[in-house]
Chain A
Amino acid sequence: MSNPYDAMWEKLNLDLEAHAGLLEVLGKFYGDIYMSQQGRLRGMEYLDFVLSEVHGLRIKELQDAKASGKKVIGTFCIFVPEEIVLAAGGIQVGLCAGAEIGKDEAEKVLPRNTCALIKSFVGFKLSRLCPFIESCDLIVGETTCDGKKKAYEIFSDYSPVYVMEIPQMKNACDRDLWKSEVLRFKSKVEEITGNKITAAALRDAIHLVNERRRVLQRLNRLRAAVPTPISGRDVLLINQISFYDDPVRFTSKIGELCDELEERVKSGEGIVPEGTVRLMLSGCPMAVPNWKLPYIVESSGAVVVGEESCIGTRNTRDLVEEGGSTVDGMVDAIVDRYMRIDCACFTPNTERMENIVDMARELEVKGVIHYALSFCQPYSMEAYKVEKALSNAGIPMLAIETDYSMEDVEQLKTRVEAFVEMTR
């Protein structure tokens, strides 16, 4: 079966046959998990469309932009400051790495006990299935964990990789390190794009990224209403798509969706029956198409009303202070904002415990499900401290450790259902 994008994909050197299979599976999976929902917002049609064109229209846009001289920069982590890339006239895309694909290929170069996210991005590359990776002029890695650090060394045999060093503590010298890393990144981006970052461009870029964060903050405020007006799955999807869609269009479309949501909240309309248990997810990022746990939770008499995750509030909570006039001043504002990220790669990471407890209280959830990818040491170890902090606040927590495979779905269901029964 031919596809209108085949020529483009072929040019990007994708494995066309395997890629067609991937899109088919993804479409079916999306249908089962998303299209089966009742009472979705009209505004979700935009997200359905964007997802259905995930490897089509958006890639075409990127290719067109590249043809006009723009550069595309791929990232795997919310530490990479998009403001810098946008200010240099580049396009930043968050690469997804949420599917168990190319695992056999990945395991040829990686140990088996590597987390699913790392295996996924290596697998996507080695099996030639991701047109985003193939569209990138530069892929930016970062030193958030040992697994990623070493995987980027291997990845750089196949793609142009640049690695940012992320500090592991939050002392003054760590901020100095991070600032020098942001400046080094700025030079690299200026070199790749051929554009020197001006104060005006940086100011606009800071504003643009803040606007996207603001609309996602608004979404989070609205979705917290009782009765729950939008499923956790839909909110997760919106957050996921924020990483690769055009930021201006995305912000405007999600603004419209929030208007619709606001009306729904005003009229007291909900999408779940009364008595549905409000839960919050916390932990590792869930990248497209990793909808496994939210789907299990929302099929077990509960609804997800918050995601304490990089694809969630960790990415949207803090804004870069606006109003700077010099490039150096604005870089400082960027440095400070990103230093507030409460990733489990930091030690100690007490802010995260406080943020989780605050969020759980504000959202009035009955419990928190902590999600760690198997072999993700930072998050699976931090689950212990999270549970302690939550238990001191009288909030129950269930720790789940899993990966992208479907073989443990039944076991997870039992655990999640039992947790829902317990918190009811």
Chain B
Amino acid sequence: MVSRLEDETVAGIDIGSRSIELVLLNAGGVLRQVKAPTTFDPIGQCRKLMDGINGSWITATGYGRKLFAESFSHLNVSTITEIQAYALGAQFLYPAAKTVLDIGGQDTKVISLSDTGKVLKFEMNDRCAAGTGKFLEFMAVALQVPLETFGEFALRCDRRIQISSMCTVFAESEATSLMARGERAENIAMGLHSAIVSRTIAMLRRVGISFPLVFAGGVARNPCTVKLLEEQLGQAVTVPENPDMVGAMGAALYGRNGVARI
């Protein structure tokens, strides 16, 4: 049986700290895009996603890229960093994109793109996960709100309060003392979102902000983060339909360009 991959279909897989995304592409566009949680067994999860795929143009990105390349050594796996993957994916979706912001599970990245889509400069948060999706996840648990609706929850605030700590541990104690003072949970949630956005803006400023600015990564699904970001930037940001797929999409495109080169 001839798989579709051999017919110049390419696959990109993004093995992140929280989730794994797979995108299949051919000249006609996206054939398939799927997502699974990373869990404690990322390779097992990859195997499930990769079921039936055995072509030769697979590009892996994300923290698990090396592990993936080793575990699927029978396939011809290339690896690229998340920086390049997000740059390629964002530029494919929005050819005019100048800045890419990706807030993922444990990483925040800002990438500045040239007119031709080349990475000019980038910055990532350091080893601490402050200001990333993990921070929101942790705080949603602390406030007993499902992560998926945490953004909507925060948008129901009736006043803006400031939470100054970006450290997950300190922010939680700050939130706890606010609750003890009778502050509404929605207002605390808004304060926590603002803290993330302020930190993100600082990183954006260091790299330089130009529009169109593509906001990708799982946190881009959070409407409160998008709203606050636009408020502070004074301009609309571009959120892809599937913001968490941008990395896997970029990886797949890297493979396709590889095919094109040959």
Q: Which residues of A contact B (CB under 8 A)?
A: 396, 401, 407-408, 410-411, 414-415, 417-418, 421-422
Contact = CB atoms under 8 A, between A and B. Distances in A.
User: Closest 5 interchain pairs by CB?
Assistant: A418-B83, A418-B81, A422-B119, A408-B127, A417-B81
B100 to A, nearest CB: 12
B121 A396 contact: yes
B261 to A, nearest CB: 14
Contacts, number: 34
Given A396-B121, A410-B63, A418 B84 contact: yes
B214 to A, nearest CB: 17
Contact of A418 (B63, B118, B122, B126): B122
B124 A411 contact: yes
B63 A401 contact: no
Judged by DSSP, the binding face of A is helix
B126 A421 contact: no
B119 A418 contact: yes
Given A410-B63, A414-B81, A421 B119 contact: yes
Contact of B81 (A396, A407, A408, A421): A421
Contact of B126 (A411, A417, A422): A411
Interface in B109-138: 118-122, 124, 126-127
Interface in B63-88: 63, 80-84
29 contacts: A396-B120, A396-B121, A401-B126, A407-B127, A408-B126, A408-B127, A410-B63, A411-B126, A411-B127, A414-B63, A414-B82, A414-B83, A415-B124, A417-B81, A418-B81, A418-B82, A418-B83, A418-B84, A418-B119, A418-B122, A421-B80, A421-B83, A421-B84, A421-B119, A422-B83, A422-B84, A422-B118, A422-B119, A422-B122
Contacts of B84: 418, 421-422
B10 to A, nearest CB: 18
Contacts of A396: 120-121
Nearest to A398: B122
Given A411-B126, A418-B122, 12 more contacts: A411-B124, A414-B63, A414-B81, A414-B82, A414-B83, A415-B124, A417-B81, A418-B82, A418-B83, A418-B84, A421-B83, A422-B119
